[in-house]
Amino acid sequence: MTDTTETIARRRTSADEPAIWLGCLHCYNCGRLVGHWFAASGADEVTLADVHRGSRVDFAREGCEEIWGLDIENMPVHREMDAMEAARWGALYDEVDDADEWQAISAWVRSGDYIAEGDSDIPVLPDFRERFCGTWDSMEDYAYSLVDDLGMLDGMPEEVARYFDHSAYARDLRLSGEYSTVDAPDGGVYIFRCC
């Protein structure tokens, strides 16, 4: 049995941490909203006692049996889910390096062009890290960097290299199907390789 104090302490540790509102399904079906917000990490350890804390509902006598996630925050999917799935999202969050990486992963998932674990919606972190090209002001800025990093114009006379059309190259990258972009929350775009 989970120590209630420990579960309550895991309610939320940072503003970007995925969270789930876990409630008693029996109480909900009877017209009572009984539950609390919990961090997604460890949500699978939340008990009926944790959910009913402070509600004055005798969950054993009422016949309460099922906990369900009726709302979520800071997850790239937008739907109800059970505590087990929320815990998997929480475990992924615990593996990321920082809030910026979590936002980029969330954008990758929302793009619909990502690699998931099995038949779940949970993205595969190593595949994300392999495909994430960074946050850029625009696709054109990324194209400038790519041309430079690949040395595409190395050895060309300056008179010829200055006529290279970076805007057209950025457009071709976008249309090639090899890259996808998602608007970043603070401006610019996240860029992902698709293959």
* pLDDT of 71 higher than 60: yes
- Please report, rounded to a whole number, the percentage of residues in the chain having pLDDT higher than 70: 93
Which amino acid makes up residue 141?
D
Q: What is the average pLDDT value for the chain, to the nearest integer? A: 90
Report the percentage of the chain scoring pLDDT > 90: 81
Half-sphere exposure of 103 (CA within 13 A, CB side): 16
pLDDT-based confidence at residue 176 (cuts at 50, 70, 90): very high
Our CA angle for 23, 24, 25, nearest 5°, is 110
149/143 Cα distance (integer angstroms): 10
CB 134 within 8 A of CB 100: no
pLDDT tens digit sequence for 146-167: 999 999 999 999 888 889 999 9
Rounded Cα gap, residues 138 and 169, in angstroms = 13
pLDDT-based confidence at residue 7 (cuts at 50, 70, 90) = very low
Using an 8 Å Cβ cutoff, are 108 and 114 in contact? Answer: yes
The residue-averaged pLDDT of 100-127 equals 94
Phi, psi of 89 (to 5 degrees): -65, -40
For the cut 90, the answer to whether the pLDDT of residue 9 exceeds it is no
Over residues 82-87, the mean pLDDT reads 96
Give a three-class secondary structure readout of the chain.
CCCHHHHHHCCCCCCCCCEEEEEEHHHHHCCCCCEEEEECCCHHHCCHHHHHCCCCCCHHHHCCCCEEEEEEECCCCCCCECHHHHHHHHHHHHHCCCHHHHHHHHHHHHHCCCCECCCCCCECHHHHHHHEEEEECCHHHHHHHHHHHHCCCCCCCHHHHCCCCHHHHHHHHHHCCCEEEEECCCCCEEEEECC
How many whole angstroms separate alpha carbon 193 and alpha carbon 128? 9
pTM of the model as a whole: 0.83
Angle at 148 between CA 145 and CA 152, to 5 degrees: 130
CB neighbour class for 106 (10 Å; exposed up to 12, middle 13-18, buried from 19): buried
